[in-house]
Amino acid sequence: MSWPGVIHAYLPYLPFAADTPIITLNEGNTPLIRADRLAEAIAPKAGLQLYLKYEGLNPTGSFKDRGMTAAITQAVAEGAKTVICASTGNTAASAAAYAARAGLRCLVLVPEGKIALGKLAASLAYGAEVISIAGSFDDGLNLVCEIVRRQPIALVNSINPWRLEGQKTAAFEICDQLGGRAPDWHCLPVGNAGNISAYWLGYRQYGKGLPRLLGGQASGAAPIVLGRVVEKPETLATAIRIGNPARWQQALAALDESGGIITAVSDDDILQSWRLLARLEGVFVEPASATGLAALKQQIALGEIDPVGKTAVCVLTGHGLKDPATAVAHANPPHTLPADITALEAYLQR
């Protein structure tokens, strides 16, 4: 049977009536990839069982689709005709796709010049009205929160509780894929803190055990680590360039209840982990998605996490093709050769 999408797959765990018309792109059911070479690189001879939850394989290339099927389904059920969100790009692309499928008008506010090309391209292609604001994600979020107080528009950012309901299904999948148990450590990037909050809801509800949460923030955009709002967040991981996360308190509670850790990693650390994922395991992600792995690598190196015999899952939140410009900028350029066999052979024997 083909995979029906996360709402149908986990309906008994979700607050939808059985007859609600579901707006879905058959999202979810993403692979949990065993990463032995990477495990050996970050924790030699420790017997670490490392898994990658490759959320970049969702229909619009990020984990946001899990939450968006739920938020758009609910918006339609409530009679909405227009939806809006602020976004660093992935939420925008996902909202645009699901709104298109539901026949809704979709407006997305993005920070000018700070949205990766693949996200902009997709949002435009799906027919969203893309509004580029001279401000940050946080400014955009304030604006959309205000406009929905004034106008009959549905907000589909992760402050909308339906988003978390959909996103928590990833925790169910991980437990199912591990044969009915939670990992010891669950590692992920933290931006607006919706996803970490959703995972915690999911693990608690599913009853297959609880992991400890490890959240990674970029050091230039690490409000939760610093314990204060960051007015001008900066990181090359533009997806998590956020200075005042909406789900801050909920993330803190989840970290606390799980005995978890939140830590900051530099852009260089993020890039290094991003490269390891691609080169050791053949998994191409956008930079922000490597932040969970960078955090795990850092905490093992610091001795804060003992990897011996442990199971860890790193959530890879978005596909590498989301941000081709950063990928090309941080790789060696291609070799150029004349189209001739002698030149090719000479190159091989260099």
Pairing of strands 82-86, 154-155: parallel
Pairing of strands 49-54, 32-34: antiparallel
Minimum distance between the CB of residue 1 and ligand F0G, rounded to whole angstroms?
Answer: 30
Binding-site member from 74, 158, 273, 326 for ligand F0G (CB under 6 A): 158
Q: Which is nearer to ligand F0G, 193 or 265 (CB)?
A: 193
Is residue 196 within 8 A of residue 188, CB to CB? The reply is yes
Q: Kindly tell me the sign of the dihedral angle through the C-alpha atoms of 222, 224, 226, 229.
A: positive
Minimum distance between the CB of residue 191 and ligand F0G, rounded to whole angstroms?
Answer: 3
Minimum distance between the CB of residue 288 and ligand F0G, rounded to whole angstroms?
Answer: 4
Binding-site member from 69, 88, 298, 299 for ligand F0G (CB under 6 A): 88
Regarding 317 and contact with ligand F0G (CB under 6 A), the answer is yes
Minimum distance between the CB of residue 326 and ligand F0G, rounded to whole angstroms?
Answer: 12
Alpha-carbon distance of 147 to 173, in angstroms, equals 35
Regarding 62 and contact with ligand F0G (CB under 6 A), the answer is yes
DSSP 244-256: S-TTHHHHHHHHH
Q: Kindly tell me the sign of the dihedral angle through the C-alpha atoms of 33, 36, 37, 41.
A: positive
Binding-site member from 60, 69, 87, 136 for ligand F0G (CB under 6 A): 87
Regarding 111 and contact with ligand F0G (CB under 6 A), the answer is no
Minimum distance between the CB of residue 54 and ligand F0G, rounded to whole angstroms?
Answer: 12
Binding-site member from 90, 219, 258, 299 for ligand F0G (CB under 6 A): 90
Is residue 250 within 8 A of residue 218, CB to CB? The reply is no
Binding-site member from 28, 166, 220, 318 for ligand F0G (CB under 6 A): 318
Pairing of strands 49-54, 311-316: parallel
Q: Which is nearer to ligand F0G, 276 or 290 (CB)?
A: 290
CA 303 to chain centre: 26
Alpha-carbon distance of 3 to 30, in angstroms, equals 11
Nearest one of 349, 318, 262 to 57, comparing CA atoms? 318
Regarding 60 and contact with ligand F0G (CB under 6 A), the answer is no
Regarding 192 and contact with ligand F0G (CB under 6 A), the answer is yes
Buried-state track 30-42, b at ≥16 Cβ within 10 A, e below 16: bebbebeebbebb
Regarding 288 and contact with ligand F0G (CB under 6 A), the answer is yes
Minimum distance between the CB of residue 28 and ligand F0G, rounded to whole angstroms?
Answer: 16
Alpha-carbon distance of 107 to 244, in angstroms, equals 22
Nearest one of 302, 296, 291, 301 to 268, comparing CA atoms? 291
Minimum distance between the CB of residue 142 and ligand F0G, rounded to whole angstroms?
Answer: 14
Regarding 218 and contact with ligand F0G (CB under 6 A), the answer is no
Total residues contacting ligand F0G (rule CB under 6 A)? Answer: 22
Quickly list H helices, 30-83. 36-42, 64-77
Regarding 193 and contact with ligand F0G (CB under 6 A), the answer is yes
Q: Which is nearer to ligand F0G, 153 or 196 (CB)?
A: 196
Stretch of 85-93, 148-156, 171-179, 339-347 lying at the interface with ligand F0G (CB under 6 A): 85-93
Pairing of strands 105-111, 185-189: unpaired
Interacting residues with ligand F0G (CB under 6 A): 62, 64, 87-91, 158, 189-195, 239-240, 286, 288-289, 317-318
